[in-house]
Amino acid sequence: MERSHAADTPPGTTTTRIERSRMAPNPPADRRRRAAPLAAGIVLALAVSGFTGGSAQADAVEQIINGTFDDGHAPWWSTANLTLDSSDGRLCTDVPGGTINPWDAIIGQDNISLQTGVTYEFQFFGSATPGKVGKALIQLPVPPYTQYLAANPALTVSGDSYRYTFTSPVDLPNAQVAFQIGGSAEPWRICLDDISLLGDAEPDEYEPDTGPRVRVNQVGYLPKGPKNATVVTEATETLPWQLRNDAGAVVASGTTQPRGLDESSGQHVHSIDFGDYQKKGTGYTLTADGETSRPFDLGTDFYEQLRLDALRFYYTQRSGVEIREDLRPGYGRPAGHVGAAPNQGDMSVPCQPGVCDYTLDVSGGWYDAGDHGKYVVNGGISVHQLMSEYERSLLAPTGEFWKLRDGTLDLPESGNRVPDILDEARWEQEFLLKMQVPAGQPYAGMAHHKIHDDSWTGLPLLPHLDPKLRELHPVSTAATLNLAATAAQAARVYLPYDWRFALRNLKAAKAAWAAAQSHPEMYADPNDGNGGGAYSDDNVTDEFYWAAAELFITTGAREYRDFLLDSPLHTADVWRDRGFDWGNTAQLGRLQLATLPNGLPDRERVRQSVITGADKYLATLEAHPYGIPYAPTDNTYDWGSNNLILNNAIVMAVAFDITGTDRYRDGVLETMDYIFGRNALNQSYVTGYGEVASENQHSRWYAHQLNTDLPNPPRGTLSGGPNSSIQDPVAQQKLQGCPPQFCYLDDIESWSTNELTINWNAPLAWLVAFVADQDNGDARGRLR
């Protein structure tokens, strides 16, 4: 995930190069590591509709020198690969093709004065031949290159005027205006004119378009499942509602239930329950309080399709292999990080200086998110949940293992008589095995925490064009235990299909467990975030518990059983209100011990603890006006809140598998309503699903918003979702003071609210398969 970026100085300039704005592609902080709210002095204060107060006043003094280019173009500067021409009263230049990053070609002006609390209006006229998406920045000109304004104007051949406002959080005499215009394979021409920066501006008010006030699951509801909707209204008494079919005929009606103020959205809302209506169909709408919802279906086909799409996402995240156009039309690309220039490749990667004196072949695996990094702790939970989805399909009463059979995902491996979901998971598991320190080396058996570029790159940037040096980072106990857990799981999962691979995993798992016990407190450096996320974690008791659980389930060995029984986590309440994730994995061990056959003496108590956790999340959902099993006590949403919400729903799904009790299954279904549009923003967070859905998730290669030659993320890609900390400049410009559910932007630059990751699609895939397995919604027995 993204976070902070460092950058070099553009060639031919005396000004230090701008990091992410112009140098560093993504903002500071990797999306995966835990994020704390930014200090107030660093937060952008761009006014947001209903979210922000007034700004300080200042004289409307022009800060730009010679923004009309009536007499040359001094003091504007450029990188050495540009020749500025202002002979016709505009500033024009031909931008060479073949550059990699946006900051490889820059036009800029230095020594811009900013005052704390002053709202500024930034305007310019721009054109491009052919049309291009540019990048306009106002920022600190030295590390950490803090951006106070970041915009991506879509420049056209005919040209247009652009206007932005922001409120400065700092007093700064030497801010920088920069137009980043590199990163195009083909040459093009840009012209700029009438560039202006004035203080004493009225702040723009950001008003998200939330559409009709009736919020529904825009994808659809199971005919025999719960059907709930939310109406945003100031009415305090019940209201009539009507359900209409695609012909406009009223097929059901009733009255709303007032729910009062919803703290997570700041809205007054009512609930609608139309669960009694069960006829399959398309194009249904709900009307209440004079508003009509976006359309939705009643059926099961959409979940069956998403079962596949959520897993097909992983193929186009693969590193080290060509993505075939015939398998993913519109998403074909050359193999990334295989050593073809300018790529340096992952086949012989050195360690960071001073870390080790060997190289490893760590090719393959999945790119973690929107960047080109690969992280063991994030890969671990992701590949685990895919293998867990497969194991559930074999063991759960409603499991339909044939839906994951060979040939279902259209992979290069399809046709090899191995379920496609296991072919995809193996691509990542093979990479995790490669991250283990070889025998004979210091820390043998441990796993390197991550591998990524030595500094941040910009976006868009296709993997095969990444020119940066790749580096192995130090080993960590957390990464080692992730390897132990997934390798132990893989040993049993792959045994029917490839016994040699299964034994290789078991050997690696045992070696990793022993190494972790010898080095139980080797933590990732929280400051190691240049070029990739730090993913630091200074408490690995949960990883020890998870790894012991997987090893015990696979081997039945007393060593692992005794460790589990002696662990305080074995009897602790592990069900956090914020859910589990890559940094909180004891819950994975608890769920596995509850659902997979094993000889644990207190297994029934373990199973009951899962039911207790499910009851907790179900109670949260039932109390929540939007029906969400997630309500942190401080009313703030985390980075990747959608993933945490889905993981809480997995606990309810497992409780259903254990008990066969419908209310747990119904809780899962209602959780999916939030993901698909029954939320304050009235939008689906899954690309391609719902009338209004996320489509600009942060990514270097699914970057249509920045380069129309590139695609949006594939169907079935989950966005991270609302994040109260709004760490990126784009979100900071628009979302100050946002209620939790409103802390989201479907913008490719909003890496803190809108990134995609392998560990966010994993619970989506698991849950969608669970829902698709329910068929008509009837429980069929209990998991033994």
Which residues are part of the catalytic machinery?
A: 371, 698, 746, 755
CA distance 712 to 698: 10
**715 contacts 695 by C-beta, under 8 angstroms:** no
CA distance 9 to 19: 9
What does DSSP say about strands 296-298 and 220-221: parallel, antiparallel, or unpaired?
A: parallel
- 405 burial (CB, 10 Å; 0-12 / 13-18 / 19+) is middle
- 182-220 burial: b if 16+ Cβ within 10 Å, else e: bbbeeebebbbbebbbbbebebbebebebbbbbbbbbbb
CA distance 161 to 125: 4
Please give the C-alpha separations between residue 378 and each of 202, 421, 700, in angstroms, as whole numbers.
43, 18, 18
- DSSP class per residue in 439-506: TTSTTTT-EESEEEESS---SS--GGG--SPEEEPPEEHHHHHHHHHHHHHHHHHSTTT-HHHHHHHH
User: Of all residues in the chain, what percent are helix, strand and coil, respectively (each to 5)?
Assistant: 25, 20, 55
Residue with tokens 């499942």: 225
CA distance 205 to 765: 37
Residue with tokens 């590390």: 143
- The closest of 575, 537, 475 to 34, measured between CA atoms, is 537
CA distance 651 to 658: 11
3-state secondary structure 273-308: ECCCCCCCEEEEEEEECCEECCCEEECCHHHHHHHH
**130 contacts 188 by C-beta, under 8 angstroms:** yes
> Across the chain, which distance is largest between two alpha carbons, in Å?
85
Identity (one letter) of the amino acid at 116?
T
Please give the C-alpha separations between residue 749 and each of 378, 564, 697, 703, 733, in angstroms, as whole numbers.
22, 43, 8, 10, 12
Other beta carbons within 10 angstroms of residue 498's beta carbon come to: 16
- 312-344 burial: b if 16+ Cβ within 10 Å, else e: bbbbbbbbbbebeeebbeebebebbbbeeeebb
Tokens found for residue 134: 């540019």
β strands within 562-671, DSSP E: none
CA distance 758 to 386: 10
Q: Tell me 553's DSSP state.
A: H
**322 contacts 335 by C-beta, under 8 angstroms:** yes
- The closest of 436, 329, 389 to 646, measured between CA atoms, is 389
CA distance 727 to 739: 15
CA distance 115 to 100: 34
**281 contacts 297 by C-beta, under 8 angstroms:** yes
**421 contacts 404 by C-beta, under 8 angstroms:** yes
